[in-house]
Chains A and B, each alone.
Chain A
Amino acid sequence: MFPRIVYESFRRQARRKLLAGIAITLGVAVATAMIAVATDIGDKINRELRSYGANLVVTPQEDTLDVEVGGVNLKPPSDGAFLNEADLPKIRGTFWHHNIVGFSPMLPVTVKLGSGSDAKDVTLLGTYFSKALRFGKEDFTTGVRITHPWWKVSCGDGKQSPNCGWPDDDSENILVGERLATKLNKQPGDTLDVAGRQLTISGILSTGGAEDDQIVAPLALAQQILGKPGAVRRVYVSALTKPPDALSVRDPKTMTPEVYDRWYCSPYVESIAYQLQEVIPHSHAEQIRQVAQNEGTVLSRIKGLMLLITFAALLASALAVSAAMATAIYERRVEVGLMKALGAGDLAVSAIFFAEALLLALVGGIAGFAAGALLARQIGRSIFNSQISIEPVLFPIIIAIAVFVTFAGSAAAIRRAVKFDPVFALRGEG
């Protein structure tokens, strides 16, 4: 009898059930999408924060002081220590290599432009643009196009054209900083006499920094000009990190083994620096505090904001579901009166309503979860150009929340419907 009552109730009152079902579906969809976005926003914003550039720098351990004013390097180019280019792919072998978005080696060389009396010193910076490398069985590309996304190459005056662009990493083509290009009056396609070599300008580089007065060339070319094959002055590493906390700033030397393991296995900027030092011989890795220290604050602000908004969304969905359920039950007082007049107890009547609510919550919850997953995907694709993945573990949680909210929303209405005097209900006085 019990299943038949519930079944018939769904069959005969499809319109009313539909209204409550739609409310549950929409409420669950919004809740699912918001939870998915809120749990993933940290990772997404972390990636966007990488547009501020590298947050770690690796230098030789025995390096001499940099003597650089206004982008002009005054240190003799062969002075000081170098890193070995052959060690760089090992960066992909560190514990947190999945968190390393990219790295760019830098080798500044002071070169003479022109000859005779009008020769002048300019810094030529050797680097990777988008270099294909291999570590173990893994192929990857890295370079300034990943780590320095604000570097823009144009034909001068900000114009784009297929004739000018980034040089190849194994070519002898170069980029000229925009201020230097104006001074030299050079356009892409022209050649430049650098240290006795005729180099073709493939594009004009605009960075808003010291590189605007420099020449940027493939690393191999800079090494040839300097006469030191394989030499790298420093490496910029862009890594996804966890905001600093009490553990991150501790000195690994003073940690107990358990704490050390926890520190080592957390993607703190400090532990990633430590691991970089391990894989690159004779190196010193340090966080670039301007980038590394600030991203934690920005990240935690945005995450906190999304968390609070998700709470608001959950609250609003819960209220919407409760309101819809209360309305659906309130409309059925006459039925309750009839059931009670026929001898049904409060418990039996409540059980029918709760069973209906459970069914509605399950159906609405599953439909809502699917709709919410689609919604989250859509948000991820349109805002971040990447997938927002929904953890499967979220499914039982969402269904549990849907059932709980539906029950909570129905409870008050069911109580009132059961307490209502059947005489009044049957006479239609409510």
Chain B
Amino acid sequence: MTTTTTTAMTTITTPGTLLTPKQVADRRAQSPHTSMFARMLLRAAVLRRRRAASALLAMIVAAAVATAMMNLYVDVQAKLRTEFRNYGANVVIVAKDGKSLPADALAKVESVLGAKALAVPFSYAVARTHDGQSVVVVGTDFARARQLNHWWKVSHWPDAPNEALVGMRAATAVSPKRQPFELTFQGKAIQLAPNGMLQTGAGEDSRIYLDQSEFQAWTGIAPSTIEVAATGTGAEVETSIRQLAQVLPAADIRPVRQIMEGEANVLNKTRATLYASATLVVLTSALCVLATLIGWVFDRRRDFAIMKALGASEHLVNGFFAAEAAALGVVGAILGFFIGIGVAAWIGRVNFHAPVVPRFSVFPYVLAGSVAVALISAILPIELLRRVQPAIILRGE
């Protein structure tokens, strides 16, 4: 920009205050050459507050929606995975050929999988009731089984010695009136109180559950099965299985296909739906920005014409509008990003009762997307205006 235009613009933007040449020179000396450009950007925003604010609002909404969608898309899958862990164990460790697992098996499993995974030992024996009926008795760790098997409907979890958790169908056989009953295993008898009732609708209903230490003192049988609820994606669970196979060579380690495949199936469909919806929402908000910004730039064709009439090069005018759009994109992206994180956190709280962890890694994408949409919506109308003579615009035609 030449010196003459600078003076002219200064006079135009501050009418009524005549400056002495010295004052003008002082001002120019203080501010570097680029400040005119920056000043024009700033004044354009301040003078047309309302239009600028509505453009910025559209930008913020779009960036917020995009941020929230990206955050949710990543986090919802993790959230749903934890929901799926309520289905119980997805990996089962079974001792080969009906033997027991080594005594340190549970400790080994926990050291491999860490604190995230839940491992529950089970040991089985077939005992006889007083009238000679066979019944399966299971020894387990009640505290862990309770965490793993959320779907068990239990009237009372045993917490005292010689208390048993009795399956609904087993109860009608061994203790129809809820009276204490006796079981024998290889000649050794035990007296049990049926204080808790268990209902699952599956094999557990025919069994009697005991605390592992009591069970082992009675039968001498150590756990033969460990059920594991391993967290993470399918690939992570596969890795866990391989690691377990290394530390427990004497055991058969297999995924529970029913649980793994069901989870993968539902998760894939949900992810695809989420992806499609998020894309639609982000596209719509981009459209919103486009519509607002095109209007904004069109609205300022007079500025455009004046700049050109005053001798600004096409390059400079384009640069000015582009810089303005980019600034809008950056400010909108930053504000929208934080609002979007808030929205995602709120959705997480409402729907999953757990906050969505903010992912700052999506910020570059939101920023780049916002600036790109802003630039596109600024360049489009300028391309149209460029063909028009400034004189025609200034005459208001």
Contacts and interface: CB of A to CB of B under 8 A. Distances in A.
A302 interface: yes
A323 B288 contact: yes
Contacts of B173: 64-65
Interface stretch (A30-38, A274-282, A339-347, A351-359): A30-38
B135 A65 contact: yes
Looking at chain B's contact residues, is the secondary structure mostly helix, strand, loop, or mixed? helix
Contacts of B269: 44-45, 48, 383-384
Contact of A289 (B133, B152, B224, B396): B152
A313 B280 contact: yes
Q: Indicate the size class of the contact surface on chain B.
A: 35 or more
Contacts of A291: 87
Given A294-B151, A305-B347, A52 B202 contact: no
A208 B258 contact: yes
Interface in A412-430: 427-428, 430
B295 A288 contact: no
A176 interface: no
A334 B262 CA distance: 63
A39 interface: no
Contact of A57 (B201, B206, B283): B201
Contacts of B84: 294, 298
A288 B277 contact: no
A30 B284 contact: yes
B126 A69 contact: yes
Interface stretch (A165-173, A257-265, A324-332): A324-332
Interface stretch (A82-90, A132-140, A314-322, A390-398): A314-322
Looking at chain A's contact residues, is the secondary structure mostly helix, strand, loop, or mixed? helix
Which of B135, B150, B270 is most buried by chain A, counting CB atoms within 10 A of its CB? B270
Given A19-B291, A45-B270, A316-B281, A326 B135 contact: no
Interface string B198-218: 011111001000000000000
Nearest to B266: A48
Interface in A39-70: 41, 44-45, 48-49, 51-53, 56-57, 63-70
Interface stretch (B105-113, B157-165, B249-257, B365-373): B249-257
Given A37-B276, A65-B206, 19 more contacts: A67-B135, A67-B136, A68-B203, A74-B134, A149-B261, A208-B258, A288-B202, A289-B151, A289-B199, A304-B350, A305-B72, A305-B274, A305-B347, A309-B277, A323-B58, A326-B292, A379-B273, A383-B272, A428-B396
Interface of B: 54, 58, 61-62, 65, 68-69, 72, 76, 79-80, 83-84, 86-88, 94, 98, 124, 126, 133-136, 149-153, 169-170, 173, 199-203, 206, 224-225, 254-262, 265-266, 269-270, 272-274, 276-278, 280-281, 283-285, 287-288, 291-292, 294-296, 298-299, 302, 343, 347, 350-352, 395-396
